[in-house]
Structure 1
Amino acid sequence: MNELITLGILAFTSFFTLINPLGVMPIFMTMSADLTPQDRARTAKKASLVGFIIIVAFALSGQLLFKFFGISVNSFRIVGGVIFFIMGMDMLQARLTKVKLKDSEVKKYVNDISITPMAIPMIAGPGAITNAIVLMEDAGGMVGAAVLIAALALVVLLTYFILLSSSRIIKALGETGNNVLMRLMGLIVMVIAVEFFFSGLKPILIDIMH
């Protein structure tokens, strides 16, 4: 019983740190600033659900898939870094909030950002996926796996509610404040992108040299 409690606490704290819903929120705010509260809520819900499904899928079959396709987590980090960098560049130039959507385009836009970059790689990023695979290996059976998935579900639920609260923050900041925040977050996201890219590239280069 103590081992399951320890696993649950470890899973919750590690997933909360790696998913970092408080860090995801400003990016979600800037990308959904022109959406209605209903569309913003729908985007948050879909992103959270898709992110949860992806992490669980990798937790259950990650080792098998990685071996089958010859994919490494480091390659995943490099791709995530490229996506982050492009997104950060757009945010730095305040492009994201300048997108004015027609009613017919809203549904497509919601679907686009809820999958990429919100679900992948913001929620279901390389860190969270790797963590899920490693912890699932250590779960030691069905009960441990259930505890792990329950802890992940709690983190994703918290992420969903944090994203929902972003609408109030957008209203409080106004357009100028939102643009300033977006540029600041753009710099941070680009720094994260560089860290992701080189943390994935370094082990690959070391393997090549050896």
Structure 2
Amino acid sequence: MSLSQDWNFILLCATSLFVMINPFGIAPVYLSLTHGMTPQERRFVAWRASLTALVIMVLFAVAGNFIFEFFGVRISSLKIVGGIIFFMLGFDLLNARLSSIKNEPVKVREEYSRDIAITPLAIPILCGPGALANVVILAHEAANVVQKIGLLAAALAVIGANFAGLLGASSLMRWLGESGNKVMMRIMGLIMMVIAVEFFFAGLVPRLQELGLTLHNG
């Protein structure tokens, strides 16, 4: 395997993961979810979500095939669950329900920040079905140690870009102001509900096709 092939594979890993995760596209969702938090709380959410996403991606890169086979999980099932989570979150954003967190006690806000950092930010927004499937496929296609290390390095670089983008998003929050944040929250809620429908049916259609083939063969 030549050095150029290794670099081409690493470049493929970086670009595909960047497109799948879309660090800059996550910023509006992050701003909506952390509306009403202090700057320290928002930084904590960004750090925890990015770290959790990186750990999950490394785990799936190393043992993704084994995990899916051991539990009998299909990517289509992951898409269905991700779609449901997205829809529930989008509905709350559309109704601006998450903005009430600013009126809660500090302890409640801390628990909320820990919760949203893992779900939905780390899973399924950062590590959605597409990103996880992409990592598993790339890990399977890695032909040598250099390419496997390159995949992990690409994941680290993309998550690092995501973390930097989330930190910079706080400046946008201050610029938008209270009214702008509420408008953006509702817009993002609507967009997330549309994404949820796409996720759901992208997973449901293959399962229905499998069911149809099973019934036909049976």
TM-score of the two chains, using structure 1 as the length reference: 0.98
Q: Hey, what does 2:62 align to over in structure 1?
A: 60
1:141 offset after TM fit, Å?
Answer: 2.3
CA distance in 2, matches of 1:165, 1:33: 15
1:189 aligns with 2:192: yes
Q: Hey, what does 1:166 align to over in structure 2?
A: 169
| Cα deviation 1:64-115 (Å, max 9, x = unaligned) | 1111111000000000000000000011111111222211222211110110
1:121 aligns with 2:124: yes
Letter in 2 for 1:184: I
1:124 offset after TM fit, Å?
Answer: 0.9
Unaligned runs of 5+ in 1: none
CA distance in 1, matches of 2:112, 2:190: 24
| Cα deviation 1:3-34 (Å, max 9, x = unaligned) | 11111111111111111112211111011121
CA distance in 1, matches of 2:131, 2:174: 31
Q: Hey, what does 1:40 align to over in structure 2?
A: 42
Match of 1:135 among 135, 138, 144: 138
Give the secondary structure class of the aligned counterpart of 1:23.
helix
Alignment of 1:1-210 (within 5 A): 1-99=3-101, 100-210=103-213
1:39 offset after TM fit, Å?
Answer: 1.2
Letter in 2 for 1:38: Q
Higher gyration radius (CA): 2
Unaligned runs of 5+ in 2: 214-218
Give the secondary structure class of the aligned counterpart of 1:35.
coil
Give me the CA root mean square deviation.
Answer: 0.9
Query: Structure 1 segments of 4 or more deviating over 2 A?
Result: 98-101
CA distance in 1, matches of 2:94, 2:33: 12
CA distance in 2, matches of 1:36, 1:97: 13
1:200 offset after TM fit, Å?
Answer: 0.3
Identity of aligned residues (%): 42
CA distance in 2, matches of 1:188, 1:203: 24
| Cα deviation 1:175-201 (Å, max 9, x = unaligned) | 100011111111110110000000000
CA distance in 2, matches of 1:206, 1:30: 37
1:42 offset after TM fit, Å?
Answer: 1.0
